[in-house]
Amino acid sequence: MNYFPEFTAFLRNLQDRITGELDQLEHDQGSSIQFQSDEWKGEDWLAGGGRTRVIEEGLVLERGGVNISDVHGQLPDDLAQKMPGDSRDFRAAGISLVLHPRNPHAPTVHANFRMICRGNPESPEKLWFGGGGDLTPMYLYEDDAAHFHSIWRSVCEAHSNVASYAKMKKDCDQYFYLPHRKEARGIGGIFYDYMQESPTEMLAFSRAAGNAFLDAYLPILRKRSIQPWTAEEREFQLWRRGRYVEFNLAFDRGTQFGLKTGGRIESILMSLPPLVRYKYNYTPAQGREAEIMAVLRTPRDWI
């Protein structure tokens, strides 16, 4: 069975709904900035294409990207060796988003949901799903963390035959981790990859998880984006963003997949924040800045 037509139609609809809600939030807070849409096609050996939507310099979002793609071709040697199956032919479709709010009290968020196959999509040799959502606060608000995780737990519980919140939460903590810093990128969420069993049920779960993103994040963004902030808090936000850059460029599988398959570089690197600050040998010693750093070194259960 070819799952791609249903999945790609879902991705386009989900992109529309997410960017529409975020555009409305910008409008509600007095901004005329909205997401700009950019349709693109694969080049050289990579066929297919996608639709990138990016917002920059909004009152709420300093930068945000909500991208969908549906590409196919033949896997390069290094990627072919790392993925299930033997066929060089592949097809991959997914949505990937990263939102960097302007307000230091509003957390950065990332989510993606994807389906990949090797061989003919009509009768694939291997087919698997991956994705999840995770939160990267600059300042810790435990009620935000509890809300974010509770939404993902509810989705997993509704699809418990294929999804375990406990496992996906643990896998998220382990994946979004900077080993050279010995700290997590954020306070996690869920993460899953190479899910090959029960494709019909995994498709339903991935759709439900994608649909839950706005419920998980939008209430937090609405609340924190209007909160007062200081120049010192802005400086700390820019420093914390440096960790995000380190992870995305050094460890993120999606970034590496895009670069190694010749993906569209502007869409791949839209995940990076527009402004970042690095300070030599800096560690916050006290206050709320030290609080979030302590949490990142010791993952917690938030529900």
Residues known to be catalytic:
110
- DSSP string covering the chain: ---HHHHHHHHHHHHHHHHHHHHHHHHHTT----PEEEEEE--TT-EEEEEEEEEES-SSEEEEEEEEEEEEEE--HHHHHHSSSS-SEEEEEEEEEEEEESSTTSPEEEEEEEEEEES-TTS-SEEEEEEEEEEE-SS--HHHHHHHHHHHHHHHHHTTTT--HHHHHHHHHHHSEETTTTEESSSEEEEEEEE-S-HHHHHHHHHHHHHHHHHHHHHHHHHHTTS---HHHHHHHHHHHHHHHHHHHHT-HHHHHHHHTT--HHHHGGGS-S-----TT----SHHHHHHHHHHHS-----
Identify whether the C-beta of residue 135 lies closer than 8 Å to the C-beta of residue 187.
Answer: yes
